[in-house]
Structure 1
Amino acid sequence: MATLTAWKFDTPEGAEAVESTLLDLQKQELIKVLDAAVVSWPSEANKPRTKQLNDLTGAGALSGTFWGMLFGLIFFMPLLGAAVGAAAGALGGRMADVGIDDDFIESVKAQVKPGTSALFLLSRDAVVDRVKEAFPSGHTELIHSNLDREKEARLREVFSHEDH
């Protein structure tokens, strides 16, 4: 079963700083990263910066469309106003169809604010306690959502790269 996790860091640089830690954890077989992305939100910025971490992922990575839709729902839709309400509802429905519910989105939205960052991981076989121990102590918080096999398959069907 794949797991989508969001790890919140207390600094705008915190999430990007753990990329090498994740590579080490993969080598130790403590996690298999299927895809990853970072949100960095400097205190003075009006909106966060987002980046897919392609160096961590293999051939089964999702497209940037998935991350764009997820981050749009979490961070950018409230900025766009009521004119896109129907579009936001459609996006939210599409994410719910693949196992990412309103509770996950609202939890991330409430916790990732200016002055923080977040690492979003689609992973498998994670030893969560060991992963958490490897991240900077006292500055990391886990926001968690599991995807069952059916929802993972649906997620891949909707958002996976196409080889043509």
Structure 2
Amino acid sequence: MAALTVWKFPSSEQASQVEDTLLSLQKQGLLQVHDAAVVSWPSDRKQPKTRQLHNLAGAGALAGTFWGMLFGLIFFVPLLGAAIGAAAGALGGALTDVGIDDDFIRQVRSEVTPGSSALFLLTSEEVVDRIHQELPGGSAKLIHSNLSEDDETRLREVFQG
């Protein structure tokens, strides 16, 4: 079973500093990263910066379109050139079908604000308490949305390619 987790950090730089930690946790068998992305929102910017973490993603990584649409719906800013327009409604519906509902989007939108950052992970086999202990600064906050195996399969079908 896969899980989509969002870890919020109190500074705009901290989420970008976790790649080595996640690679270490993956080597220890504490989680399997299928895909990951970072949102950094400096307090002097109107919109956050986003990027996919390709070094962590497994062979089944989601297309940049997934992250682009998710971030577009949450922060009103696309990632990797994904356009928000007529497709947003259809993809928004697809996100709901895989367990990413309006409440999740509202919660992330309200908590990831200027001056903060977030790490978005699609993982399995995670040991959440151990991950939290290993993240830099010990100040990350978990926002968690579980995805069932069926939801993960539908998510990959919608956003692959």
Cα displacement (A) at 1:136: 2.7
Give me the whole-angstrom Cα distance separating, in 1, the residues matched to 2:85 and 2:14.
Answer: 33
Which residue is 1:122 aligned to?
122
Q: Within 1, Cα distance between the matches of 2:62 and 2:23?
A: 18
Deviation at 1:137, TM superposition (A): 4.2
What are the residue-to-residue correspondences of 1:39-118 with 2, within 5 Å? 39-76=39-76, 88-118=88-118
Pairwise CA distance, 1:92: 2.1
How far off is 1:58 after superposition?
1.8
In the alignment, the residues of structure 1 paired with residue 72 and residue 85 of structure 2 have an alpha-carbon distance, to the nearest angstrom, of: 13
Deviation at 1:150, TM superposition (A): 1.0
Distance (Å, rounded) in 1 between the aligned partners of 2:148 and 2:109: 23
**Residue type matched to 2:118 in 1?**
A
1:19-48 CA distance string (max 9 Å, x none): 110000000000000000000000000000
8 Å CA contact 2:10–2:115 kept in 1: the answer is yes
1:103 CA drift (Å): 1.3
* Percent of aligned pairs with the same amino acid: 64
Aligned to 2:22: 22
Preserved CA contact (<8 Å) 2:69 2:88: no
Aligned letter for 1:59? Answer: A
Q: For residue 14 of structure 1, report the CA deviation from its aligned partner.
A: 0.7
Query: What amino acid is the match of 1:31?
Result: L
Q: Which amino acid aligns with 2:129?
A: D
CA distance in 2, matches of 1:152, 1:73: 19
CA distance in 1, matches of 2:136, 2:142: 12
The answer for unaligned runs of 5 or more in structure 2 is 78-83
* Partner SS, residue 136 of structure 2: coil
> After alignment, is 89-98 or 61-70 more displaced?
89-98
**Cα offset for 1:139?**
1.9
The CA RMSD measured in Å over matched residues stands at 1.6
In structure 1, runs of 5+ residues without a counterpart are 78-83
Of 99-108 and 28-37, deviating more is: 99-108
Q: Tell me the number of residue pairs that the alignment of Structure 1 and Structure 2 aligns.
A: 155
Structure 1 stretches of 4+ moved >3 Å: 84-91
Judge conservation of contact 2:132–2:138 (CA < 8 Å) in 1: no
Distance 1:20 1:136 in 2: 10
State the 1:149 CA deviation: 1.1
Paired AA for residue 22 in structure 2: L
Determine which structure has more spread, i.e. the larger CA radius of gyration: 1
Which residue of 2 is the match for residue 154 of structure 1?
154
